[in-house]
Each structure stands twice: as C-alpha cells, then as structure tokens.
C-alpha cells in the first residue's frame, strides 16, 4: 500500500472529509474538470497518506485540471449572484485555515498529527471563520458533515 506524501490545500482536505461524512465511500473521476480530487480523496479515506504539506497554490488535486493554466486556476463561479475567481477565493480560504490552525504552508506534517489537529479543532466557529461569506445554515451543514467524516475515518483507521 502506497503511503506517500501529499501536497494539498487545507480546504480540499476538509472537503474530502465533508463528502466522506455525507456518505461518499468511493470518489470517482470528474470528467468535466479532469482533476485528481477522486484520486487524492480515495488515498485519504483509505488511509494511504503518510505525510501532508499544505499549500495555498495548486496542489496534487489541481495539477491535471483543465482550468489550471500556468499554475493558476482560471475557473470562476457564481455565488449569490456574484461571479468569483476561484483561484483568489480559495487562496484566501486556505490562508485563513492555515493561520487559524497554527500551521505553516509548504511544511511537511505527519498525517496522523493533522487528523488529531482537525479532530481537536474542528468547530462551527472555525468553519464560520473560514467560510465567512456563507450562511449559518450552509456552515452548520459543512461542519456536521466534516465532523462525521473525520469521526468515520477515525473509527475505520484508529486514532
């Protein structure tokens, strides 16, 4: 079993646990974007990650994505009637997460330590701080699903 390192945006890691908590047991490829969310997500939930390095830039998920041009995500999205640049939006999210969790970008951490950190620090307050533009209802759902995903991971793999 490959248990190598992983370069990941912290919000991507939380998204993996959120979806796992919502009931996703096996991630499948996204043919529209061609990114590696499914590959990385499956490595995480199958306990095949030894170390993790956080980034605010493109990560192991982003690298094959059709939206990544010269190292920058060109994807856009509309939220509450306003168009956003996904690259800028996600960089800001990830900086807030890294700062709030007391982490450093581009530093390698043992994955088990990160799971412990997330399990001990995940709160509705953290989710609301990071996703400050989302509604209370959206953040409550994100928190509950992410919490369930981490708990499910710990039950399955120990910790």
Q: What percent of the chain has pLDDT over 70?
A: 97
Give the count of domains, the chain: 1
The pairing of beta strand 5-8 with beta strand 51-54: parallel
Over the stretch 131-151, which tens digit does the pLDDT of each residue have? 888 999 999 999 999 999 999
Rounded Cα distance between 112 and 159, Å, is 8
Query: What does pTM read for this prediction?
Result: 0.94
Over the stretch 87-142, which tens digit does the pLDDT of each residue have? 999 999 999 999 999 999 999 999 999 999 999 999 999 999 988 889 999 999 99
Structural domain of 73:
5-157
């Amino acid at each position: 079993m490959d248990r190598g390192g992983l370069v990941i945006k912290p919000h991507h890691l939380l998204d993996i646990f959120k979806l796992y908590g919502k009931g996703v047991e096996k991630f499948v490829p996204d043919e529209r974007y061609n990114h590696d969310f499914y590959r990385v997500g499956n490595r995480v939930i199958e306990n095949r990650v030894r170390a993790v390095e956080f980034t605010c830039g493109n990560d192991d998920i982003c690298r094959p994505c059709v939206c990544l041009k010269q190292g920058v995500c060109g994807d856009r999205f509309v939220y509450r009637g306003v168009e956003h640049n996904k690259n800028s939006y996600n960089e800001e999210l990830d900086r807030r997460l890294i700062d709030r969790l007391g982490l450093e970008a581009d530093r390698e951490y043992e994955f088990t330590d990160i799971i412990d950190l997330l399990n001990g620090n995940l709160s509705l307050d953290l989710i609301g701080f990071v996703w400050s533009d989302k509604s209370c209802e959206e953040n409550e759902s994100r928190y509950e699903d992410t919490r369930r995903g981490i708990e499910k991971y710990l039950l399955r793999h120990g910790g």
